[in-house]
Chains A and B, each alone.
Chain A
Amino acid sequence: MQTSLAKKICIYLGAALLALVIALPVLWLFIMSISSSTHLTTLPLQWWPDSPTLENYRSLLIYAENTPSQSFLYAIRNSIFIALAATGLSVAAAIPAAYSFSRMPGPRRKNLLYAVIAIFMLPPVALVLPLYTVMSALGLLNTHFALIIVYCSILLPFTTWLLKSNFDTIPSDLDEAPIIDGANRLQAIWYVILPIARPALGAAVMMSVLLAWDEFFYGLLFTNDIRAKTVTVAIADLAAGRVADYGLVSAAGILAAVPPVILAFFMQKTLVSGLASGSVKG
């Protein structure tokens, strides 16, 4: 009884500590975002603003030319467009590939699958120089198109692998039956596999969007103004500004974090089971 009480106290202390460690930094980011910059540069530091303000959010979200709102809103637009287009392209190419890997295995295709995964794990510095010179020669630097294509090097191997391991769990009788009846493979994928694999498809789309939204390296190198700069690059710019307005930077960070955080919480179960199956089954 005594040990069990001690254990209980340990558990609750640990849980409280964990909650604080996770919540405090983000809470402070939020508090900074609703503080004026004079308040944040007053010493000694106060932990709550006398007059909380939404001014930082207003100056980011209400469009006006040649202000932080211009670069920020354009960056949000660019990020949404690029993330969705790159995800669409990757998933469209990954579905038939995953089906082929799953249903028509062969030794050479198996090696190809491992090669694709290995390529996915290469550091981007291994690919960035030729990608840059090619994009530059084609006049594609600072366009959405360049980032959409380049992001496929990250998203496509990942989605292919995720979908392949899910297709493996679908009994193959289900899609062999219509093929014996004369349907072709694409029809079998479209009418049989995809409806069953809808949760996995959702997970693949979500993870791809998260990866693309988070990407920074290529975005930094391939874009240079509001036409194509992504939100991660815009935030790095804001943070590096000479007269850094801490409140404004924090508000931009919060806004950029909202879409992925909502997406991740919303798909929590899928995310966790995806992580788990990815590591348990390989």
Chain B
Amino acid sequence: MISYRKTVTAWLLLTPMIVIILGVSGYPLIKTVYYSLTGAKLIAPDLTDAWIGFGNYIRALSSSNFREAIWHTTYFAVISVGVEMIIGVMVALLLNEVFVGRTLLRAMLILPLALPTVVNAMMWRLIYNPDFGALNALLVQLGMLDAYRSWLGDPATALDMVIVADVWKNFPLVALIALAALQTVPKDLYEAATLDGAGMWNRFWRITLPAILGPLSVALVLRTIEAFKVFDIIYVMTRGGPASSTKTVSFYVYQEAFAYMRVGSGASYALIVVLISACLIAGYMYLIRKHGEA
């Protein structure tokens, strides 16, 4: 009896959250699945949503443009997250040492994190500006570059330059997580290892890395999920150009649905993105369950 009442109370307390989540996430997700099986257009979604089954998916998967967008997104996610992890761990190791100005430096890490994504994108766009940008000016004045370049206007460099901007904003997150994990490693472990003759390299691989691997893997998966959604920074810096060289899947869906008004096929692209994300999210769920129950 008491346990029955308790269950009812438990669900009552959850009701506001469940209602909101169903409204803003549950229903839209199901409706996206429905749209993806129709030819719905943005202008009158309910008038023209003729059922066309898997037609959208077949077209999506056979579209070389979309496959290219998946490749750009994968490249962006792997390179930016990879570099963020390496720099983040190096910075955490640095900040784990004792030196003058350490507290200030750690506080400075907050700056890129707190800077709004759009402001970060705009800042780097100005720095990369082909005619008056600071990067061109700096490299030319230092003699490292002969003439001004259009960093974002060249399909060969655009995506990498966007990655630099993304890494600058997000490496502090990895650094802060790794630093917090480092501070839980007992100091005498290092002393013992040093006495046993282990060098710096050995101590890193045998003691440091295993100790921070848990939190680091969570950060890795979280950042990868985020990187797969990338939209803001692309929209502000390049709008997917030049020659579609920075067009990622989120931007592709945005264009399909809101520029070309094709909601049905846009939804099918979106769900393919969801499927890829779902694999990453499943990985994340596995990690937090493992840590939660350990």
Q: Hey, which bits of chain A sit against chain B, CB under 8 A?
A: 8, 11-12, 14-15, 18-19, 21-23, 25-26, 28-29, 32, 40-41, 43-45, 89, 92-94, 96-97, 99-101, 104, 106, 109, 112, 114, 116-119, 121-134, 149-150, 152-153, 156-157, 160, 185, 210, 213-214, 216-217, 220-221, 231-232, 235-236, 239-240, 246, 249-250, 253, 256-257, 260-261, 263-265, 268, 271-273, 275-276, 279-282
Q: When A25-B168, A126-B271, A220-B235 are in contact, do A118 and B119 touch as well, CB less than 8 Å? A: no
Whether a CB of chain A sits under 8 angstroms from the CB of B270 is: yes
Q: What separation, in Å, do the CA atoms of A239 and B258 have in the docked complex?
A: 21
14 contacts between A and B (CB under 8 A): A32-B126, A104-B7, A116-B17, A130-B31, A156-B17, A157-B21, A185-B13, A214-B117, A216-B235, A246-B129, A260-B116, A268-B107, A275-B180, A279-B222
B67 sits at the interface (CB 8 A): no
A residues near B181, Cβ cutoff 8 Å: 276, 279-280
A130 CB contact (under 8 Å) in B9, B20, B27:
B27
The one of B127, B273, B292 in contact with A126, judged by C-beta atoms closer than 8 angstroms, is B273
CB distance from B3 to the nearest CB of A (A): 10
Name which of B55-63, B155-163, B187-195, B225-233 contacts chain A. Answer: B225-233
Indicate if the CB atoms of A130 and B35 lie closer than 8 Å. yes
Residues of A within 8 A of B274 (CB): 122-123, 126
Residues of A contacting B94 in the complex (Cβ-Cβ under 8 angstroms): 11, 14-15, 18
Chain A contacts for B127, CB-based, 8 A: 25, 28
A29 to B124, CA, bound (A): 9
Interface residues of B in 1-56 (CB under 8 A from A): 6-7, 9-11, 13-14, 16-18, 20-21, 23-29, 31-32, 35, 42, 45
Q: How far is the CA of A61 from the CA of B215 in the complex (A)?
A: 43
CB distance from B134 to the nearest CB of A (A): 5
Q: How far is the CA of A216 from the CA of B7 in the complex (A)?
A: 39
A118 and B285 CA atoms in complex are apart in Å by 8
Interchain CA distance A261-B114 in the complex, whole Å: 5
Residues of A within 8 A of B281 (CB): 118, 121-122
- Taken residue by residue from 107 to 130, chain B's Cβ proximity to chain A (1 for < 8 Å, 0 otherwise) reads as 111111111111100111111010
CB atoms of B134 and A249 under 8 A apart: no
Interface contact A216-B111, CB-CB below 8 Å: no
Asked if A122 meets B25 with Cβ closer than 8 Å, knowing A100-B13, A256-B119, A257-B116, the reply is yes
A216 B117 Cβ-Cβ under 8 A: yes
Is there an interface contact between A264 and B24, defined as CB atoms closer than 8 Å? no
Q: Looking across the interface, which residue of chain B has its beta carbon closest to that of A105?
A: B10
Instruction: State which of A22, A26, A185, A253 has its C-beta within 8 Å of the C-beta of B109.
Output: A22
Chain A residues with CB under 8 Å of B81's CB are none
Residues of B within 8 A of A280 (CB): 180-181, 184, 214-215, 291
Q: Which residue of A lies closest to B126 (CB)?
A: A246
- Please give, as numbers and ranges, the residues of chain A lying within 8 Å of B42 by CB-CB distance: 132-133
User: A44–B25 Cα gap in the complex (Å)?
Assistant: 52
Which of B10, B132, B134 lies in contact with A100, CB distance below 8 A? B10
| A130 close to B28 (CB less than 8 A) | yes
Q: Give 7 A-B pairs besides A232-B118, A261-B110 with Cβ atoms closer than 8 angstroms.
A: A15-B102, A41-B132, A101-B14, A121-B281, A122-B29, A123-B277, A253-B119
Give the dominant DSSP class at B's interface: helix
Residue B85 at the A interface, CB < 8 A? no
**Smallest CB gap from B141: residue in A:** A44
B277 touches A22 (CB 8 A): no
- Indicate which residue in A19, A40, A96, A221 contacts B105 across the interface (CB closer than 8 Å): A19
Query: Taking A104-B6, A236-B235, A275-B180 as contacts, is the C-beta distance between A153 and B17 under 8 angstroms?
Result: no
Query: Contact mask B195-219 → A, CB, 8 Å, 1/0?
Result: 0000000000000000000110011
User: Which of B108, B141, B254 contacts A22, CB < 8 Å?
Assistant: B108
In the complex, the chain A residue whose C-beta lies closest to that of B251 is A125
Residues of chain B contacted by A232 (CB below 8 angstroms): 116-119, 232
- Contact between chains at B176 and A44 (CB < 8 Å): no
Max chain A C-beta neighbours (<10 A), residue from B17, B129, B218, B236: B17
For B146, the chain A residues whose CB sits under 8 A away are none
Per the bound structure, the CA–CA distance linking A30 and B172 in Å amounts to 21
* Bound complex: CA A144 to CA B249 (Å): 28
Q: Give chain A residues whose Cβ lies under 8 Å from the Cβ of B236.
A: 235-236, 239-240
> Does the CB pair B257–A129 fall under 8 Å?
yes
Which residues of chain B are within 8 angstroms of A129 by Cβ–Cβ distance? 28, 31-32, 35, 257, 263, 266-267, 270
Any chain A CB within 8 A of the CB of B288?
Answer: yes
